[in-house]
Amino acid sequence: MPRPRLSIAILSSVILIAAFANHADAQFSDAARECRSSLGKHGAKMLTVAAKTLAKCHKNRNSAKFLDTVDCNAQTPDSDPKFKIDKAGQKMFEATGDFAKSKCNGLTPADVGFASCPAPCAGDFPVILNMDHVSSCVVCVLIGDTETAFASIAGTPVPLLNKIDGKCHGRVLKAHTALRKTAFKARARCQDDAEEAGAILNDICTTADPKGKILKTRNKIIGKIEDTCASAVLTDVDSCSDVSPQGLAFCVANDAEATTTSDFEAAYPDK
């Protein structure tokens, strides 16, 4: 006697139910979501401290308060004599590593979607075995992204910069940090909300701007760079474009958003 066949409708329902069950099992737990959200929250603070510290170094170098041999595009004792970046990294490490008061204490890297550390820190953390590694990896990436961005947008101007060029250079760094911070926080909030609804991938929020804050900040910093740098000698400013103030403004804005993508994907990897 032939076995009865399931109807197409019943079979489809079975497949959908199974798929939904598997997706539900794959969702981040409440504890994992809280940990990832903490990585995002402290990550925003970390990247801001790193960028502001290197910007302060450039200001001191451009005015000859620091020697012109100091590399202000890299975290060193010369560029950060008060060790502000290290201190911020330690705070994030204690808040998101394997510490009693950490939001991530008791979790594994797999719980929060970390299988490896991305560039530029893959070599520093070839294996991710615990939450200390996760936290240190994200700190490393945020600092590395800052250094890469500054090499492009801050350059190495020849001191002393005159008042106009100095203001332009300072505006470029302040604008880049403002847009990067705004974009990161907006996308982190987007991802937190998405994961609460069951998302396990970051593709929804990688380029999202749910409340229009990123675009608003982008337009604002472009206008400020154009105004501040209108009379500057852009070749002396040594940023990412010396064609025109508008070209410089768009170059800085585009770099900030590209840097944010790397920041965001490091703090919120797919599961």
Residues 214-264: pLDDT tens digits?
999 999 999 999 999 999 999 999 999 999 999 999 999 999 999 999 999
| Domain presence at residue 4 | no
Count how many domains the chain has: 1
- Domain hosting residue 33, numbered range: 29-267
Q: What is the pLDDT of residue 24?
A: 52
| Domain presence at residue 245 | yes
| Domain presence at residue 70 | yes
Whether the Cβ atoms of residue 232 and residue 165 lie closer than 8 Å to each other: yes
62-92, pLDDT tens digit by residue?
Answer: 999 999 999 999 999 999 999 999 999 999 9
Q: What is the pLDDT of residue 26?
A: 85
User: What's the CA angle centered on 262, arms 91 and 81, to 5 degrees?
Assistant: 40
| Domain presence at residue 16 | no
| Domain presence at residue 23 | no
CA atoms within 13 A on the CB side of 17: 6
| Domain presence at residue 34 | yes
Q: What is the pLDDT of residue 25?
A: 55
Report the run of H or E that residue 82 belongs to, with start and end.
none
Give the whole-angstrom CA distance, residue 241 versus residue 101: 45
| Domain presence at residue 39 | yes
Residue 156 predicted with pLDDT over 80: yes
| Domain presence at residue 3 | no
Residue 204 predicted with pLDDT over 90: yes
